[in-house]
Protein backbone atom coordinates (compact mmCIF):
# COMPACT_ATOMS: atom_id res chain seq x y z
CA UNK A 1 0.00 0.00 0.00
CA UNK A 2 1.35 3.45 -0.87
CA UNK A 3 1.85 5.84 2.03
CA UNK A 4 -0.21 8.44 0.16
CA UNK A 5 -3.18 6.12 0.80
CA UNK A 6 -2.41 6.24 4.50
CA UNK A 7 -2.77 10.03 4.44
CA UNK A 8 -6.04 9.86 2.54
CA UNK A 9 -7.78 7.02 4.38
CA UNK A 10 -8.89 7.00 7.99
CA UNK A 11 -8.92 3.27 8.69
CA UNK A 12 -10.28 3.79 12.21
CA UNK A 13 -13.28 5.57 10.73
CA UNK A 14 -13.75 2.83 8.10
CA UNK A 15 -14.07 0.25 10.89
CA UNK A 16 -15.99 2.59 13.18
CA UNK A 17 -13.54 2.31 16.09
CA UNK A 18 -11.55 4.77 18.18
CA UNK A 19 -7.80 5.28 17.76
CA UNK A 20 -7.12 3.60 21.09
CA UNK A 21 -9.18 0.49 20.27
CA UNK A 22 -7.77 -2.72 21.75
CA UNK A 23 -6.65 -5.63 19.56
CA UNK A 24 -9.49 -7.80 20.89
CA UNK A 25 -12.17 -5.20 20.19
CA UNK A 26 -10.67 -4.49 16.75
CA UNK A 27 -10.82 -8.19 15.90
CA UNK A 28 -14.40 -8.49 17.14
CA UNK A 29 -15.54 -5.44 15.16
CA UNK A 30 -13.85 -6.59 11.98
CA UNK A 31 -15.41 -10.05 12.14
CA UNK A 32 -18.86 -8.54 12.54
CA UNK A 33 -18.38 -6.18 9.58
CA UNK A 34 -16.76 -8.85 7.39
CA UNK A 35 -19.71 -11.17 7.81
CA UNK A 36 -22.17 -8.33 7.23
CA UNK A 37 -20.58 -7.19 3.96
CA UNK A 38 -19.10 -10.46 2.68
CA UNK A 39 -20.00 -11.06 -1.01
CA UNK A 40 -21.50 -14.44 -0.12
CA UNK A 41 -24.00 -12.69 2.14
CA UNK A 42 -24.76 -10.02 -0.49
CA UNK A 43 -24.60 -11.70 -3.91
CA UNK A 44 -24.55 -9.19 -6.76
CA UNK A 45 -24.33 -6.16 -4.43
CA UNK A 46 -21.44 -4.04 -5.71
CA UNK A 47 -21.65 -1.60 -2.78
CA UNK A 48 -21.31 -4.40 -0.22
CA UNK A 49 -18.39 -5.87 -2.13
CA UNK A 50 -16.64 -2.47 -2.19
CA UNK A 51 -17.30 -2.01 1.53
CA UNK A 52 -15.89 -5.48 2.23
CA UNK A 53 -12.68 -4.56 0.42
CA UNK A 54 -12.41 -1.30 2.42
CA UNK A 55 -12.79 -2.97 5.81
CA UNK A 56 -10.39 -5.76 4.80
CA UNK A 57 -7.81 -3.17 3.76
CA UNK A 58 -8.27 -1.21 7.01
CA UNK A 59 -8.03 -4.34 9.13
CA UNK A 60 -4.90 -5.58 7.36
CA UNK A 61 -3.13 -2.42 8.51
CA UNK A 62 -4.53 -1.96 12.01
CA UNK A 63 -4.45 -5.64 13.06
CA UNK A 64 -0.65 -5.78 12.95
CA UNK A 65 0.86 -3.77 15.86
CA UNK A 66 3.96 -2.68 13.91
CA UNK A 67 2.05 -1.67 10.81
CA UNK A 68 -0.52 0.15 12.95
CA UNK A 69 2.30 2.09 14.66
CA UNK A 70 3.74 3.12 11.28
CA UNK A 71 0.28 4.16 10.09
CA UNK A 72 -0.29 6.29 13.19
CA UNK A 73 3.11 7.97 12.73
CA UNK A 74 2.43 8.80 9.08
CA UNK A 75 -1.01 10.19 9.91
CA UNK A 76 0.43 12.27 12.76
CA UNK A 77 3.15 13.78 10.56
CA UNK A 78 0.67 14.61 7.83
CA UNK A 79 -1.82 16.26 10.17
CA UNK A 80 -1.97 20.01 9.49
CA UNK A 81 0.97 19.93 7.07
CA UNK A 82 -0.44 18.47 3.89
CA UNK A 83 -2.84 21.33 3.14
CA UNK A 84 -0.26 24.05 2.49
CA UNK A 85 2.88 23.94 0.42
CA UNK A 86 5.62 26.61 0.16
CA UNK A 87 3.33 29.35 1.47
CA UNK A 88 1.29 29.35 -1.71
CA UNK A 89 -1.95 28.57 0.09
CA UNK A 90 -2.86 25.79 -2.32
CA UNK A 91 -3.42 22.17 -1.35
CA UNK A 92 -0.20 20.23 -1.56
CA UNK A 93 0.55 16.64 -2.38
CA UNK A 94 2.50 13.96 -0.59
CA UNK A 95 5.86 15.42 -1.66
CA UNK A 96 4.86 18.81 -0.26
CA UNK A 97 4.33 17.32 3.18
CA UNK A 98 7.80 15.82 3.40
CA UNK A 99 9.32 18.80 1.65
CA UNK A 100 7.92 21.02 4.40
CA UNK A 101 9.12 18.69 7.13
CA UNK A 102 12.70 18.88 5.90
CA UNK A 103 12.51 22.55 4.79
CA UNK A 104 12.77 21.78 1.10
CA UNK A 105 9.74 22.03 -1.09
CA UNK A 106 9.43 20.29 -4.38
CA UNK A 107 10.65 22.23 -7.38
CA UNK A 108 7.88 23.29 -9.71
CA UNK A 109 7.10 20.68 -12.27
CA UNK A 110 9.53 18.25 -10.63
CA UNK A 111 10.01 15.95 -7.65
CA UNK A 112 11.20 16.80 -4.21
CA UNK A 113 14.88 16.11 -3.70
CA UNK A 114 14.47 13.32 -1.15
CA UNK A 115 17.96 11.91 -1.68
CA UNK A 116 19.62 15.25 -0.73
CA UNK A 117 18.64 14.97 2.93
CA UNK A 118 20.66 12.27 4.70
CA UNK A 119 18.03 11.73 7.40
CA UNK A 120 15.13 11.07 5.09
CA UNK A 121 16.03 7.52 4.08
CA UNK A 122 16.79 6.68 7.69
CA UNK A 123 13.33 7.84 8.70
CA UNK A 124 11.58 5.84 5.99
CA UNK A 125 13.74 2.81 6.65
CA UNK A 126 12.61 2.75 10.26
CA UNK A 127 8.98 3.35 9.42
CA UNK A 128 8.74 0.73 6.68
CA UNK A 129 11.07 -1.91 8.01
CA UNK A 130 13.89 -1.02 5.63
CA UNK A 131 11.74 -1.73 2.60
CA UNK A 132 11.79 1.80 1.17
CA UNK A 133 9.01 4.29 0.63
CA UNK A 134 5.84 3.00 -0.94
CA UNK A 135 6.45 -0.68 -0.07
CA UNK A 136 3.32 -2.84 0.11
CA UNK A 137 2.15 -3.87 3.56
CA UNK A 138 1.02 -7.23 2.24
CA UNK A 139 -2.38 -8.66 1.49
CA UNK A 140 -5.23 -9.58 3.80
CA UNK A 141 -3.64 -10.92 6.98
CA UNK A 142 -6.66 -12.88 8.18
CA UNK A 143 -6.29 -11.90 11.83
CA UNK A 144 -10.09 -11.73 11.97
CA UNK A 145 -10.38 -15.32 10.80
CA UNK A 146 -10.59 -16.20 7.09
CA UNK A 147 -14.01 -17.15 5.81
CA UNK A 148 -14.83 -20.61 4.53
CA UNK A 149 -15.48 -21.02 0.79
CA UNK A 150 -19.02 -21.47 -0.46
CA UNK A 151 -20.64 -24.89 -0.58
CA UNK A 152 -21.45 -26.32 -4.00
CA UNK A 153 -24.52 -28.43 -4.77
CA UNK A 154 -24.62 -31.28 -7.27
CA UNK A 155 -26.79 -34.30 -8.02
CA UNK A 156 -26.05 -37.71 -9.47
CA UNK A 157 -27.90 -40.90 -10.35
CA UNK A 158 -26.32 -44.19 -9.32
CA UNK A 159 -26.89 -47.77 -10.32
CA UNK A 160 -28.43 -49.82 -7.53
CA UNK A 161 -25.30 -51.93 -6.99
CA UNK A 162 -23.04 -48.83 -6.92
CA UNK A 163 -25.19 -47.27 -4.21
CA UNK A 164 -25.09 -50.47 -2.14
CA UNK A 165 -21.41 -51.30 -2.53
CA UNK A 166 -19.90 -47.81 -3.01
CA UNK A 167 -17.53 -46.65 -5.74
CA UNK A 168 -15.49 -43.70 -7.03
CA UNK A 169 -17.32 -41.72 -9.71
CA UNK A 170 -16.61 -38.72 -11.95
CA UNK A 171 -18.66 -35.63 -11.23
CA UNK A 172 -19.19 -32.24 -12.86
CA UNK A 173 -20.72 -29.92 -10.21
CA UNK A 174 -22.43 -26.72 -11.29
CA UNK A 175 -19.94 -23.87 -11.10
CA UNK A 176 -17.03 -26.20 -10.33
CA UNK A 177 -14.36 -28.27 -12.02
CA UNK A 178 -14.69 -31.98 -12.88
CA UNK A 179 -13.65 -34.15 -9.97
CA UNK A 180 -13.49 -37.70 -8.68
CA UNK A 181 -15.59 -38.36 -5.58
CA UNK A 182 -15.89 -41.47 -3.45
CA UNK A 183 -19.41 -42.71 -2.86
CA UNK A 184 -19.61 -44.57 0.46
CA UNK A 185 -21.29 -47.98 0.58
CA UNK A 186 -24.95 -48.02 1.51
CA UNK A 187 -26.24 -44.66 0.25
CA UNK A 188 -29.97 -44.57 -0.33
CA UNK A 189 -32.26 -42.88 -2.82
CA UNK A 190 -32.71 -39.19 -1.98
CA UNK A 191 -29.80 -39.13 0.47
CA UNK A 192 -27.54 -36.07 0.61
CA UNK A 193 -23.81 -36.61 1.05
CA UNK A 194 -21.56 -33.80 2.30
CA UNK A 195 -18.05 -34.09 0.83
CA UNK A 196 -15.77 -31.92 2.94
CA UNK A 197 -13.39 -29.57 1.11
CA UNK A 198 -14.80 -30.33 -2.35
CA UNK A 199 -16.62 -27.00 -2.67
CA UNK A 200 -15.50 -23.51 -3.71
CA UNK A 201 -12.14 -22.19 -2.56
CA UNK A 202 -12.06 -19.46 0.10
CA UNK A 203 -11.55 -15.92 -1.15
CA UNK A 204 -9.15 -15.08 1.67
CA UNK A 205 -7.12 -18.22 2.31
CA UNK A 206 -9.57 -20.09 4.52
CA UNK A 207 -10.72 -23.66 4.13
CA UNK A 208 -12.63 -24.67 1.02
CA UNK A 209 -16.37 -25.17 1.14
CA UNK A 210 -18.10 -28.53 0.91
CA UNK A 211 -19.85 -30.30 -1.91
CA UNK A 212 -23.42 -31.33 -1.08
CA UNK A 213 -24.28 -34.26 -3.35
CA UNK A 214 -27.91 -35.40 -3.69
CA UNK A 215 -28.17 -39.03 -4.78
CA UNK A 216 -30.85 -40.74 -6.86
CA UNK A 217 -30.70 -44.53 -7.13
CA UNK A 218 -32.04 -46.49 -10.09
CA UNK A 219 -34.37 -49.41 -9.32
CA UNK A 220 -33.02 -52.93 -9.58
CA UNK A 221 -34.93 -55.54 -11.61
CA UNK A 222 -34.62 -58.16 -8.83
CA UNK A 223 -33.70 -56.59 -5.50
CA UNK A 224 -35.43 -53.96 -3.39
CA UNK A 225 -33.94 -52.13 -0.43
CA UNK A 226 -35.63 -52.16 2.97
CA UNK A 227 -33.45 -50.23 5.41
CA UNK A 228 -30.28 -52.28 5.72
CA UNK A 229 -32.01 -55.37 4.35
CA UNK A 230 -32.42 -56.45 0.75
CA UNK A 231 -35.64 -58.10 -0.37
CA UNK A 232 -36.08 -60.48 -3.25
CA UNK A 233 -39.18 -62.38 -4.42
CA UNK A 234 -38.34 -66.07 -4.99
CA UNK A 235 -40.78 -68.18 -6.98
CA UNK A 236 -41.12 -71.88 -6.06
CA UNK A 237 -43.21 -74.55 -7.73
CA UNK A 238 -46.31 -76.03 -6.14
CA UNK A 239 -44.46 -79.29 -5.70
CA UNK A 240 -41.42 -77.60 -4.07
CA UNK A 241 -43.65 -75.71 -1.68
CA UNK A 242 -45.69 -78.82 -0.87
CA UNK A 243 -43.01 -81.46 -0.60
CA UNK A 244 -40.08 -79.24 0.34
CA UNK A 245 -36.91 -78.56 -1.63
CA UNK A 246 -33.45 -76.95 -1.64
CA UNK A 247 -33.39 -73.95 -3.97
CA UNK A 248 -30.89 -71.34 -5.16
CA UNK A 249 -31.44 -67.67 -4.34
CA UNK A 250 -29.46 -64.83 -6.00
CA UNK A 251 -27.39 -62.36 -3.99
CA UNK A 252 -26.40 -58.82 -5.00
CA UNK A 253 -22.99 -58.87 -6.66
CA UNK A 254 -22.19 -62.39 -5.48
CA UNK A 255 -22.83 -66.08 -6.09
CA UNK A 256 -26.29 -67.55 -5.39
CA UNK A 257 -26.89 -69.17 -2.01
CA UNK A 258 -28.78 -72.42 -1.33
CA UNK A 259 -31.84 -72.28 0.91
CA UNK A 260 -34.03 -75.04 2.28
CA UNK A 261 -37.78 -74.70 1.63
CA UNK A 262 -39.62 -76.69 4.25
CA UNK A 263 -42.56 -78.96 3.20
CA UNK A 264 -45.83 -77.04 3.20
CA UNK A 265 -44.25 -73.61 2.80
CA UNK A 266 -46.91 -71.03 1.82
CA UNK A 267 -46.54 -67.94 -0.33
CA UNK A 268 -45.26 -64.96 1.65
CA UNK A 269 -42.99 -66.88 3.99
CA UNK A 270 -39.64 -65.10 4.46
CA UNK A 271 -36.38 -67.03 4.28
CA UNK A 272 -33.51 -65.07 5.82
CA UNK A 273 -29.87 -65.08 4.67
CA UNK A 274 -27.78 -63.43 7.40
CA UNK A 275 -25.28 -60.73 6.48
CA UNK A 276 -26.06 -60.56 2.76
CA UNK A 277 -27.86 -57.21 2.87
CA UNK A 278 -26.52 -53.62 2.93
CA UNK A 279 -23.26 -52.94 4.79
CA UNK A 280 -22.71 -49.48 6.31
CA UNK A 281 -20.81 -48.15 9.34
CA UNK A 282 -24.10 -48.46 11.23
CA UNK A 283 -24.34 -52.20 10.60
CA UNK A 284 -25.05 -54.92 8.05
CA UNK A 285 -28.48 -56.13 7.00
CA UNK A 286 -29.79 -59.46 5.74
CA UNK A 287 -31.17 -60.82 2.49
CA UNK A 288 -34.89 -61.53 2.85
CA UNK A 289 -36.22 -64.07 0.34
CA UNK A 290 -39.99 -63.80 -0.03
CA UNK A 291 -41.40 -67.16 -1.18
CA UNK A 292 -43.97 -66.95 -3.97
CA UNK A 293 -45.67 -70.19 -5.04
CA UNK A 294 -45.82 -70.23 -8.82
CA UNK A 295 -49.05 -71.61 -10.27
CA UNK A 296 -48.70 -73.17 -13.74
CA UNK A 297 -50.88 -71.49 -16.36
CA UNK A 298 -51.07 -74.60 -18.59
CA UNK A 299 -51.36 -78.24 -17.55
CA UNK A 300 -50.78 -81.25 -19.78
CA UNK A 301 -53.69 -83.69 -19.81
CA UNK A 302 -51.96 -86.34 -17.71
CA UNK A 303 -50.84 -83.73 -15.15
CA UNK A 304 -54.39 -82.42 -14.94
CA UNK A 305 -55.70 -85.93 -14.33
CA UNK A 306 -53.12 -86.47 -11.61
CA UNK A 307 -53.99 -83.12 -9.96
CA UNK A 308 -57.69 -83.98 -9.95
CA UNK A 309 -56.88 -87.29 -8.31
CA UNK A 310 -54.81 -85.37 -5.74
CA UNK A 311 -57.72 -83.02 -5.00
CA UNK A 312 -60.10 -85.94 -4.57
CA UNK A 313 -57.71 -87.56 -2.13
CA UNK A 314 -57.43 -84.42 0.05
CA UNK A 315 -59.89 -83.71 2.90
CA UNK A 316 -62.87 -81.62 1.92
CA UNK A 317 -61.99 -78.32 3.60
CA UNK A 318 -62.20 -74.63 2.75
CA UNK A 319 -59.08 -72.64 3.75
CA UNK A 320 -61.13 -69.41 3.68
CA UNK A 321 -63.74 -70.43 6.23
CA UNK A 322 -62.01 -68.82 9.22
CA UNK A 323 -61.30 -65.59 7.31
CA UNK A 324 -64.96 -65.25 6.30
CA UNK A 325 -66.20 -65.82 9.83
CA UNK A 326 -63.78 -63.28 11.31
CA UNK A 327 -64.64 -60.65 8.66
CA UNK A 328 -68.06 -60.12 10.28
CA UNK A 329 -66.79 -59.58 13.83
User: What's the pLDDT at 95?
Assistant: 46
CA diameter of the chain: 132
Q: Which residues of 109-140 are buried (b: 16+ CB within 10 A; e: fewer)?
A: eeebebeebeebeebbeebbeeeebeeebeeb
294: three-class secondary structure by DSSP: strand
Q: What confidence category does residue 172 fall into, taking pLDDT thresholds of 50, 70 and 90?
A: confident
Q: Is the pLDDT confidence value at 302 over 90? A: yes
How far apart (Å, rounded) are the C-alpha atoms in residues 276 and 285?
7
Same domain, 258 and 309: yes
Comparison of pLDDT for 265 and 113, the residue scoring more: 265
Q: Are 201 and 149 in contact (CB under 8 A)?
A: yes
Q: Which residue, of 164, 184, 217, is where some domain finishes?
A: 217
Element of type H or E holding 226: strand 223-226
Residue 253 included in any domain: yes
Q: What is the pLDDT of residues 62-94, one digit of tens each?
A: 988 888 888 888 777 755 444 333 444 444 444
Residue 132 included in any domain: no
Same domain, 192 and 242: no
Comparison of pLDDT for 159 and 109, the residue scoring more: 159
Residue 292, beta-bridge partner list: 235
pTM: 0.52
Q: Is the pLDDT confidence value at 277 over 80? A: yes
Q: Are 230 and 163 in contact (CB under 8 A)?
A: no
How far apart (Å, rounded) are the C-alpha atoms in residues 214 and 157?
9
Q: What is the pLDDT of residues 113-146, one digit of tens each?
A: 334 344 444 444 444 444 433 333 333 444 457 8
* Mean per-residue pLDDT, 185-205: 88
Residue 36 included in any domain: yes
Residue 57 included in any domain: yes
Residue 97 sits at φ, ψ, to 5 deg, of: -60, -50
How far apart (Å, rounded) are the C-alpha atoms in residues 230 and 218?
15
Domain of residue 120, residue span: 3-127
User: What's the pLDDT at 322?
Assistant: 87
Q: Which residues neighbour 96 within 8 Å (Cβ) at sequence distance 6 or greater?
A: 82, 84, 85, 86, 105, 106, 112
Q: Which residues of 154-180 are buried (b: 16+ CB within 10 A; e: fewer)?
A: bebebebebbbebeeeebebeebeeee
User: What's the pLDDT at 85?
Assistant: 38
User: How many structural domains does the chain have?
Assistant: 3
Q: Tell me the Cα Rg of the chain.
A: 40
Same domain, 82 and 29: yes
Q: Are 199 and 149 in contact (CB under 8 A)?
A: yes
User: What's the pLDDT at 174?
Assistant: 65
Same domain, 120 and 32: yes
How far apart (Å, rounded) are the C-alpha atoms in residues 53 and 196?
28
Q: Is the pLDDT confidence value at 265 over 60? A: yes
User: What's the pLDDT at 136?
Assistant: 35
The pLDDT > 90 percentage for the chain reads 35
Same domain, 7 and 123: yes
Same domain, 26 and 102: yes
CATH code of the domain in which 173 resides: 2.60.260.20
Q: Which residue, of 193, 217, 241, is where some domain finishes?
A: 217
227 closest CA partner among 280, 273, 161: 280
Amino acid sequence: MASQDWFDKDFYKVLGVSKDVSEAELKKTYRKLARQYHPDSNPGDAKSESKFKEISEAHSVLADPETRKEYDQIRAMGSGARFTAGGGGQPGGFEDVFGGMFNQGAPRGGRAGFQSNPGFEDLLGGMFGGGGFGQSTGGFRGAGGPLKGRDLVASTTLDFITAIQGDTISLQPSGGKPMKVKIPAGVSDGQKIRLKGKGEASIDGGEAGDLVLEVSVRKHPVFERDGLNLRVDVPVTFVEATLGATIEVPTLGGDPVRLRVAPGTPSGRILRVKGRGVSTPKGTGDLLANVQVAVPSHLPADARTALEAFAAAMPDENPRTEMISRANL
